[in-house]
Structure 1
């Protein structure tokens, strides 16, 4: 075998190293792009949208005292990158909410908290109608944002509508949560409903202190779903 001239040998080594460097340079932009995309996704501020009636809107209170704002303050204090949107509207029923939901979904939603039904119950609307409207809202959210997570806020009403109506209304929320495999707040007004000290003069809408308890009821379900 012919011995390589030292100059030729040096040329082969330089050529080999040059090809290796070129390959690394070609692979590097792809790796950097993937890492950048992953970093951007992890650092993205996600959206939690509260869609409800006067309870969500915080009727009679400063907006910063309503339970969605209390949730935002806690998220910020714990370093979670979530932006809370309060889409509560006083007087909203499930029927009017069904007509309004498309408008609030103009922005991407990561977690959708559905708090509607109380006004249906107070007006004696058929539980089946309420159930149907809530199902259509859930379907609409998942159709537009299939990866979004939904929390359904359970509601109960006073027994003055009769035991059959009261029971039928109460069952709407756990039934829908199970059917759609979404998270359920068993009763949004737990420890607040019926407590005069925690409600405003109308006996229906919580005080600022009451909203802090509502925020706890929401947080117990919301917190396990959050990602830092």
Structure 2
């Protein structure tokens, strides 16, 4: 048996995927169907995404939420998909500084490792700046924070998952009206990629 515990913001939660509720719920449906037909190797997916959440919110809830869903003596995988809200600008400052962002994620990774869970750090996906009418997010900041995530993954010996490059070709067709949230096709891209990696 295996648990996949998906922490993140509204992109993990599945906002704006009107067809199947986002990549995490697609993953959940896939494993449920697989178990129903094969009656073996049960995999439970927990969608822990919260709209608008930053790594500050994650660090406040991570231990309790993780402990409640961990399997004893079994496989536990944890995905961390954060950054779209951390990098959002309020005035001339990010909602969460790059230093605090790093510290929050590092703290959660260390705790997950202490519980023998495997961690997957998901990169920040692009935004369509012409459509992003809410809190602005700069493409240069996304690139900067993704480089940080790569370094952090190497330092902490966790898997870095490059979702950003999935959207580099014909990016606009994979997003909804706000330029931040993937549409059904965008979530399908993420789902297919993660399904091949989360083993």
TM-score grouping bracket, smaller chain normalisation = 0.7 to 0.9
Question: Which deviates more, 46-55 or 97-106?
Answer: 97-106
Structure whose residues are more often helix by fraction: 1
Matches within 5 A, 1:135-174: 135-143=106-114, 145=115, 147-155=116-124, 161=138, 163=140, 165-174=141-150
Q: Give 5+ residue unaligned stretches, structure 2.
A: 130-136
Count of residues paired in the alignment: 176
Structure whose residues are more often strand by fraction: 2
Which residue of 1 is the match for residue 156 of structure 2?
A: 180
Which residue of 2 is the match for residue 205 of structure 1?
A: 181
Q: Which stretches of structure 1, 4 residues or longer, exceed 6 Å deviation after superposition?
A: none
Query: In 2 relative to 1, CA 74–166 (structure 1 residues): closer, same or farther, beyond 3 Å?
Result: closer
Q: TM-score, normalised by structure 1?
A: 0.68
Q: What is the deviation of 1:203?
A: 1.3
Aligned Cα RMSD in Å? 2.5
Structure 2 CA distance, aligned partners of 1:193 and 1:203? 15
Structure 2 CA distance, aligned partners of 1:102 and 1:58? 23
Q: Could you say what secondary structure the match of 1:120 adopts?
A: coil
Which residue of 2 is the match for residue 116 of structure 1?
A: 82
Q: Could you say what secondary structure the match of 2:87 adopts?
A: helix
Q: Give 5+ residue unaligned stretches, structure 1.
A: 1-44
Query: In 2 relative to 1, CA 153–107 (structure 1 residues): closer, same or farther, beyond 3 Å?
Result: same
Structure 2 CA distance, aligned partners of 1:135 and 1:82? 26
Residue in structure 1 matching 2:190, options 209, 214, 217: 214
8 Å CA contact 2:14–2:25 kept in 1: the answer is no
Query: In 2 relative to 1, CA 173–206 (structure 1 residues): closer, same or farther, beyond 3 Å?
Result: same
Greater RCO, CA 8 A, separation 6+: 2
Query: In 2 relative to 1, CA 150–87 (structure 1 residues): closer, same or farther, beyond 3 Å?
Result: same
8 Å CA contact 1:154–1:173 kept in 2: the answer is yes
Q: What is the deviation of 1:195?
A: 2.6
Instruction: Encode CA deviations 1:79-103: one digit per residue, 9 max, x unaligned.
Output: 4410000000000101111001123
Which residue of 2 is the match for residue 127 of structure 1?
A: 98
Residue in structure 1 matching 2:11, options 55, 73, 83: 55
